[in-house]
Amino acid sequence: MALHIEMTKKQKEKLVSEVYFKNKKRKEFYTCNDGRVKSYNPQFIATSKEQLIDKLYEYYFNNILEDVYKDWVQHRSTTKIVSGKTIEEDMGIWNRFIADSEIATMQIMDIKPKHLMKLFQSWTGNGKITRKDFNNRKSVLNGIFRYAVLNEIISYNPITSLPCNDLKYKLPTATKKAYTIEERSSLLAYLKTLEPDAYILAIMLAFYGIFRIGEIKALSWDSQNENMITIQHQLVEERTLQGDMTLSQPHRVLKDPKGNPYYSIRTEHLPEEGVAVLRKMKELNPHGKFLFMHEGRPLTTDSFNRRLKKYCTAIGITYLSSHKIRFTGASMLYDAGVKPIDIQPLLGHSTLTMTQHYIGQRVIERDTSEMARILA
């Protein structure tokens, strides 16, 4: 065993020396004043030559991009520096667009800007994807390389030197971000004809305010102040990373509302129609842990959106997800003359810039002939 270990050490030193000292005039490592041993380009410091050889061996031979990606995902999952949803989305991007690429099995220190540009050009072509789609993919690679730099696996991030503005992107198509006032009225009128349950009532409440769906799922209500709702939590479905790099089944987690709690924990007033929804839900579920519960269980976002899509189809309007209901409410307030700075606290946003992304959506169908008259 001792002989095997010694042979392994010599083999590692031989492999490292062949790579490290190639094209270098100096054929030995630097010794610092305190006795530590140092390498340059790449730069590492160790307490002994043997430890320095180990670091360089890891750098040159034990860090293919896929392995660094896995370490990066595990690090973010353990430290919780990003949400589980973000990790899940990034894993999806890796599996769909990077896992089968040439660079996935390359040593990360061998990946040059030219390799990345080749991959980027295969993604974008002559305008195959939008800049937003491209940036989502690039951000995953950028995160991996930044992690590698911080952990001294590589000395620089090759993405930073790429001329991504030279790539050709697909022009984004105009997307509908809000229900019109007519669509909102038709949907609410239809829902009122149905036998009420937690999902129907939750959809109605969403249109009477500008809440996040997770906030409605976690809602409790004090009937003493019946026209006021205090948003204190959100209930989200999360999946946790497992040892085999797969994600667990979704489980419910109660959290502070999304964003900075200083802004997102807030009180909002409801119109009488919204209060009537709360009263009915309390009648159906007088003792539940949360106000909105269906058959004894909290609501899920997927089921909320499936129901919403079903009802939109039933009345012949375009389905938009639960999140777009927030765009609808905010834009209705803006069209009614409410200033953005007064809409901001209702949305729970920490910046006015974010609020401006939500307001000003087209909630009123305008006749093109009317716009022509304006331009006359």
pLDDT tens for each residue of 293-344: 999 999 999 999 999 999 999 999 999 999 999 999 999 999 999 999 999 9
Model confidence at 4: pLDDT above 60: no
The tokens of 305 are what?
């959106």
Fold annotation for 181-358: hpI Integrase; Chain A (1.10.443)
Cite the residue boundaries of each domain of the chain with CATH code 1.10.443.10.
Answer: 181-358
Q: Which CATH superfamily is domain 66-170 in?
A: Tyrosine recombinase, N-terminal domain (1.10.150.130)
At residue 376, the pLDDT reads: 45
Model confidence at 216: pLDDT above 70: yes
**Residue 263 corresponds to which amino acid?**
Y
At residue 6, the pLDDT reads: 60
What values do phi and psi take at 230, rounded to 5? -105, 120
Beta-bridged to residue 251, according to DSSP, are 238
At residue 340, the pLDDT reads: 93
Q: How many CB atoms lie within 10 A of CB 52?
A: 22
Tens of pLDDT, residues 156-203: 899 998 999 999 999 988 788 999 999 999 999 999 999 999 999 999
User: What is the rounded distance in angstroms from the CA atom of residue 293 to the CA atom of residue 295?
Assistant: 7
Model confidence at 132: pLDDT above 70: yes
At residue 371, the pLDDT reads: 44
Q: How many CA atoms lie within 13 A of 156 on its CB side?
A: 8
User: Pseudo-torsion of CA 315, 320, 326, 330, nearest 10°?
Assistant: -80
SS percent in the chain: helix, strand, coil, step 5: 55, 10, 35
Beta-bridged to residue 179, according to DSSP, are none
Over the chain, what is the mean pLDDT? Answer: 89
User: Pseudo-torsion of CA 86, 89, 91, 94, nearest 10°?
Assistant: -120
How large is the C-alpha radius of gyration of the chain?
28
Tens of pLDDT, residues 224-267: 777 888 999 999 888 888 888 888 888 888 988 988 889 999 99
Cα 216-136-169 angle, rounded to 5 deg: 125
CB neighbour list of residue 157: distance below 8 Å, 6 or more residues apart: 142, 145, 146, 148, 149
Bond preceding residue 42 cis, omega within 30 of 0: yes
The pLDDT-based confidence of 346 (bands split at 50, 70, 90) is very high
At residue 18, the pLDDT reads: 83
Tens of pLDDT, residues 26-81: 888 889 999 898 888 778 888 988 888 888 887 777 789 999 999 999 999 999 88
User: What is the rounded distance in angstroms from the CA atom of residue 288 to the CA atom of residue 117?
Assistant: 55
Tens of pLDDT, residues 181-194: 999 999 999 999 99
Tens of pLDDT, residues 66-113: 999 999 999 999 998 888 889 999 999 999 999 999 999 998 988 999
Identify the CA nearest to 266 among candidates 339, 191, 327, 342: 342
